[in-house]
Amino acid sequence: MTEDNKNEDSEKLQSYLQRVIALLSKYKLLEGFVHLQDDQDKTLADSSVQKKNLDELQQLLDKLHPADIAHILEALPLEDRLIIWGMVKPEYDGEVLLEASDAVRETLITDMGSQELVAAAEQLNADEIADLAPDLPQDVIEDVFRSLPIAEREQLRAAMSYPEDSVGALMDFDVITVREDVRIEVVLRYLRRLEELPDHTDQLFVVDREEHLKGVLLISKILVSDPDTLVENVMSREIITLRPGDKAQDAAYAFERYDLVSASIIDHDKKLLGRVTVNTVIDYIREKSENEALNLAGLREEEDLFAPVLKSVKNRWVWLAVNLVTAFVASRVIGLFEDSIEKLVALAALMPIIAGIGGNSGNQTITMIVRALALDQINSGSAWKLIRKEIGVSIVNGLIWGAVVGMFTFAIYQNIELGLVMMLAMLLNLLLAALLGVLIPMTLRKFGRDPALGSSVLITAVTDSGGFFIFLSLATLFLL
């Protein structure tokens, strides 16, 4: 990576991708051409052109950062992806696997032999191997395990034991520890003996003989302190500590609020176990928010853009099935009123308006509440205030939009009563949406479920069936 390569980063990356694709397609074209013709001279000439293309491609790949290679692999259809993957420097294999998304990683691992996989894993730290482990075949994990030094085996075992979404799963073991009774000068000499510091070392951890955490010594403090000072005089004792069992989400909030670069992880005895660094936290935040967006749209997990059709179907069917059930229920609600619709067919054309706007409004409320719940901003005292507010909003909206749909109805059907029924139904369905938009996520939360999952499906189900029921029964009561 030269400075030029890195400047205007994203455009470069895009152009790398274009170049890879261009070189690859030239290569494949020639490959086909060679097979087609059996003329010896032609083959030789083409081979040399092809070789040039391949060399150029290889050079391009060799100078890319593993994260960029992973990005390019994600953007390529399976066949091309595997050609490029075969050309990646073996010493990058481990890091590229780490950087790739779960779905794409799977396709890359499937393409590798056990030995290659063991070699790739051995390039990584224990905490990184633990991240890959769920995707690796059992025999590869065992081989990797045997190849590790004892200390790292213990680390790998520990790292693999923490549940996903816990701080332990984000932990790394690259900590530098010092004692509190030494002088800064000694620390400096000690550091100089190391050839380099672990990435994201913004602080050293001050521990006693039993590894109990006493404080942290900021790197910047080392630099500005007199070399003769004792560590205990410049270390910070007010530190942020995490436990391996804490929720990863809470660690992310701590990094966000207190602007951390790294934070210590301790056990119940205050013994230092490891640390979390900001790069891991960023990856976690990004992945979490992406998964939320995917789940909201009814995709179970991140999908390889070029996944085979049946794999995609599997990733999407649950949501469609759930929605089909709620649609059947709504359909039966309408079925109850078939007599009314037969008498006044306009009802059929108007009812989706009430259901649709109710769903939109309910989803607005739910989004607000889910977000506030995630940030722990709602307590029993404020819940009532929120319900009152949302009901206020829905009354105002109900009157405004109710009047609009009422007038629309009158304009089309020249029927004042029908317009009034539309208006009333709109108001009532928005009230229902507001009330349940607050209560559904709060109830899910109360029963220990994640309110972000399922709230939206539930509210839409309620405002659909509820909207049809409210509108059609009002119409039956007042118009028929």
334 is written with which tokens?
Answer: 């309408």
Q: Identify the residue among 319, 403, 415, 474 touching its own copies (CB under 8 A).
A: 319
Tell me if 439 contacts its own copies by CB under 8 A. Answer: no
Report 262-281 residues binding its own copies (CB under 8 A): 278-279, 281
Residue 209 CB, shortest distance to its own copies, in Å, is 20
Q: Identify the residue among 38, 381, 414, 448 touching its own copies (CB under 8 A).
A: 381
Report 89-108 residues binding its own copies (CB under 8 A): 99
What distance in Å separates the CA atoms of residue 274 and residue 267, rounded to the nearest whole number? 10
Q: Identify the residue among 35, 36, 149, 345 touching its own copies (CB under 8 A).
A: 345
Cβ burial, residue 149 (10 Å; 0-12/13-18/19+): exposed
What distance in Å separates the CA atoms of residue 219 and residue 261, rounded to the nearest whole number? 12
| Candidate ranges 37-45, 48-56, 148-156, 293-301; the one touching its own copies (CB under 8 A) | 293-301
Q: Identify the residue among 38, 138, 149, 196 touching its own copies (CB under 8 A).
A: 196
Tell me if 385 contacts its own copies by CB under 8 A. Answer: yes
Q: Identify the residue among 386, 387, 444, 458 touching its own copies (CB under 8 A).
A: 386
Report 214-273 residues binding its own copies (CB under 8 A): 219-226, 237-243, 246-247, 249-251, 253-259, 261
CA dist 260 → 162, 173, 203, 256 (Å): 22, 17, 11, 7
Report 118-177 residues binding its own copies (CB under 8 A): none
What distance in Å separates the CA atoms of residue 301 and residue 290, rounded to the nearest whole number? 9
Q: Identify the residue among 115, 335, 449, 453 touching its own copies (CB under 8 A).
A: 335
What distance in Å separates the CA atoms of residue 198 and residue 209, rounded to the nearest whole number? 22
CA dist 160 → 32, 76, 106, 108, 471 (Å): 46, 31, 19, 22, 55
181 versus 199: smaller Cβ distance to its own copies: 199
Tell me if 410 contacts its own copies by CB under 8 A. Answer: no
Tell me if 349 contacts its own copies by CB under 8 A. Answer: yes
Concatenate the DSSP letters of all residues of 157-202 into one string: HHHHHSPTTBHHHH-B----EE-TTSBHHHHHHHHHHSSSPPTT--
Residue 157 CB, shortest distance to its own copies, in Å, is 25
33 versus 253: smaller Cβ distance to its own copies: 253
Distance from the Cα of residue 39 to its chain's centroid: 53
| Candidate ranges 37-45, 53-61, 127-135, 375-383; the one touching its own copies (CB under 8 A) | 375-383
Q: Which of 15, 134, 26, 27 is nearest to 75 (CA)?
A: 15
What distance in Å separates the CA atoms of residue 169 and residue 219, rounded to the nearest whole number? 26
Report 59-88 residues binding its own copies (CB under 8 A): 65, 67-68, 71, 74-77
| Candidate ranges 86-94, 115-123, 125-133, 349-357; the one touching its own copies (CB under 8 A) | 349-357
DSSP 247: B
